[in-house]
Structure 1
Amino acid sequence: MLTWLSLPQERREPALLTSLREAMVAAVTHRHPVVEDPGPAGAARALRAVLPEQTILSDAERRLLTEWLNRLAADG
């Protein structure tokens, strides 16, 4: 959220906020976990699955985040 707010208005991707809000609401209101596998590995796999849809990140940021998510997902 803070990164999004720090961007110039024309670079802000409203869909990212929608995804973030929906994930937060689902995490609080659903009886069953939104992420199939509990813990960091499951969360990393879930985030990695929707990463290609996000346009707010530069190619370098996306590659770095993908590398980190791959490492976290491998721990599970």
Structure 2
Amino acid sequence: MIIHAAGHGAVLTWPSVPEDRRDPALLTSLRESMVAAVTDQEPAVRSAGPAGVARTLRAALPDRTTLSASEQRS
């Protein structure tokens, strides 16, 4: 389903974006993200719920100790 959704979204969205705003790197990023999502052996978040997500995010961004101004407003 992930592969279908990524491909379908890209195919339908690309023509609707004005040519001067199309960035082929976006398609590459989409493909690489989709491949990583379906080929990873371990889930990115090991514990369900907000605490598990927070731990995963902290592990991925060890140098970050505070939220940005826009993150604090969310």
Class of the TM-score when normalised by the shorter of the 2 chains? 0.3 to 0.5
Bigger Cα Rg: 2
